[in-house]
Amino acid sequence: MTYLNTLLPAIPLTQALQQLHADFSVQVLHLGVDDVWHDEQDCIGTHRGFSREVCLSLQNHAVVWARSVCAHDAHPWHEIVQCGTQPLGMRLYQLPLKRTEFEYAYLSPEHPANPSNQTIVSRRSCFYLQDGSPLLLTESFLPSLKNYE
C-alpha cells in the first residue's frame, strides 16, 4: 500500500493521480439535492444538502470515489461543484478558501462512501467560502488503485 503514502497527503489529489497515469477521467454519478449523511452533518449543519458524487478513473478503471456535499441552500457552492467531468479539486485550490486538515478513516463495505466490497481508506476535508458556508469533500481510495503502484 505504498501508493497510499503518496496519495493520502496529495493536494490536489487529481494532480497526483494524473502523475500515476495520463489517462485520467471523471465520471459524474450524481449531482443534485440529496440527504446529508449522519457523519457529514457536523460539518454541513443540515439534513438536506446538494451533492456531487464522482468516480476518478485511470485508464477507465475507477480508482477513487468522491463526494462533495454542501447545504441545499448554499448556492455559491452549487455553481462551483457543477463542473461536469472537470476535476473539482483543481477548481477548489484556485479559489480563496479556508480548508480544514484531512481526517482519515477506514471504511467498511457498509459505509455509503465505500462502493467496494472491501474495507478501504478514505480522507475528508471541509472547505469554507468567505461567507463561512462549508463544503465537505470525501475521497475514498478504491482497491483497484493498487494496480498503479
Helix, strand or coil, per DSSP, at residue 75: helix
pLDDT at site 32: 97
Q: Where are the domains of the chain?
A: 2-148
DSSP state of 86: S
pLDDT in tens, 114-138: 999 999 999 999 999 988 999 999 9
Task: Say if residues 68 and 137 touch (Cβ distance below 8 Å).
Answer: yes
pLDDT in tens, 62-98: 999 999 999 999 999 999 999 999 999 888 888 889 9
Residues recorded for the chain:
149
> Among the ranges 4-8, 136-140, 145-149, which has the highest mean pLDDT value?
136-140
Class of domain 2-148: alpha beta
Asked whether residue 140 carries a pLDDT value surpassing 80, the answer given is: yes
Task: Say if residues 120 and 85 touch (Cβ distance below 8 Å).
Answer: no
Mean pLDDT of the chain: 91
Give the helix ranges, DSSP H, for the chain: 2-7, 13-20, 41-44, 75-81, 88-92
